[in-house]
């Protein structure tokens, strides 16, 4: 008899997959815009063409280091790979104060720039 491993899925699995797809889609769009093959991008990242394709379709996660390398290769900002934060999401003063306390004013400034103020 074949053994089956139990897989536990959380509510966030679907959301996380959607975010991976959005990031991957943006990577694919920028790659095509610069007329680069998945094979060439894979070589630059030291991964296979298939791994690039899996990232672009949201099947695989992409590392922070790979995003930095892609931004360098595509001559764009790392933030260009990410979807916009949905309306209604943002940081409160309590959030930015906590970030400043834990990560310093520079980190709090980055968070404000990235996420803006929370809409009321």
Q: CATH number, domain at 24? A: 1.10.260.40
The tokens of 37 are what?
A: 């093959």
What burial class does residue 54 get, using C-beta atoms within 10 Å of its C-beta: 0-12 exposed, 13-18 middle, 19+ buried? middle
Query: Domain count of the chain?
Result: 2
Residues 27, 70 within the same domain: yes
Domain assignment of residue 74, yes or no = yes
Give the model confidence (pLDDT) of 11-60 as tens digits.
557 778 888 998 999 999 999 999 999 999 999 999 999 999 999 999 99
Domain assignment of residue 1, yes or no = no
Alpha-helical regions (H) of 46-120: 49-56, 64-74, 93-103, 105-115
- pTM, two decimal places: 0.63
């Amino acid at each position: 008899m074949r053994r089956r491993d139990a897989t536990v899925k959380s509510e966030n699995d679907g959301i996380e997959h959607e975010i991976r797809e959005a990031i991957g889609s943006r990577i694919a769009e920028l790659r095509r815009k610069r007329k680069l093959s998945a094979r060439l991008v894979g070589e630059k990242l030291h991964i296979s063409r298939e791994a690039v394709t899996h990232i672009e379709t949201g099947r695989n996660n992409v590392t922070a280091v790979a995003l930095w390398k892609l931004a360098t290769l595509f001559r764009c900002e790392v933030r260009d790979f990410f979807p916009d934060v949905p309306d209604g999401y943002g940081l409160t003063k309590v959030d930015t104060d906590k970030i400043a306390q834990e990560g310093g004013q520079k980190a709090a400034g980055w968070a404000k720039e990235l996420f803006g103020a929370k809409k009321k």
